[in-house]
Amino acid sequence: MPRIWFDPAVTLSDIQRMNARTMAEHLGIVYTAIGDNSLSATMPVDDRTRQPAGLLHGGASCVLAETLGSIASYLVIDPAHLQPVGLEINANHIRGVREGLVAGTATALHLGKTTHVWDIRIADERGSLVCISRLTVALIKVRQA
């Protein structure tokens, strides 16, 4: 698959700046790699992302997945004309994690004119699969003022 990004010169620093003053910044999500058709990031497993039993909260995994897929969709489109919004997310939580970092990678499955579908795989520091998620993103027209 050829490189899918609207701006082929986009950098990880450019992407990281999008997290300013968002849930992603609050949870410590850091972008780590941009491939030809994928985007990766890490998230700490700490007091911000654990559930009461001390495991990574499934909702935090969904936040990482939706953040990766939504930002990836934003990077594919011309933001002067379209805006990506999450339409549907599902997640299968495979394994618990108590500490460290989890790493997620969103890979494009479908890049249509009105929807994108992303496969997001989240693994622990040993590379063991923690969560598999699929995100469908709707592309809506930007309203001109």
Spatial neighbors of 85 by CB under 8 A, at least 6 apart, are 70, 137, 138, 140
Residue closest to 118 by CA, chosen among 141, 140, 96, 139: 139
Residue 22 CA, chain-centre distance (Å), reads: 13
pLDDT digits (tens, 9 = 90+) for 11-53: 999 999 999 999 999 999 999 999 999 999 999 999 999 999 9
Q: Thinking of the domain 12-141, which architecture would CATH place it in?
A: Roll (3.10)
- pLDDT exceeds 80 at position 144: no
82 Cβ partners below 8 Å, 6+ apart?
A: 139, 140, 141, 142
Across the chain, mean pLDDT equals 96
Asked whether the predicted pLDDT for residue 145 surpasses 90, the reply is no
Looking at residue 1, its pLDDT comes to 63
How far apart are the C-alpha atoms of 22 and 35, rounded to whole Å?
Answer: 24
**Catalytic residue set:** 66
Q: Where are the domains of the chain?
A: 12-141
Read off the pLDDT of residues 76-100 as tens digits, 9 standing for 90 and up.
Answer: 999 999 999 999 999 999 999 999 9
- Residues 77, 83, 88, 89: what is their CA dihedral angle, to the nearest 10 degrees? 70
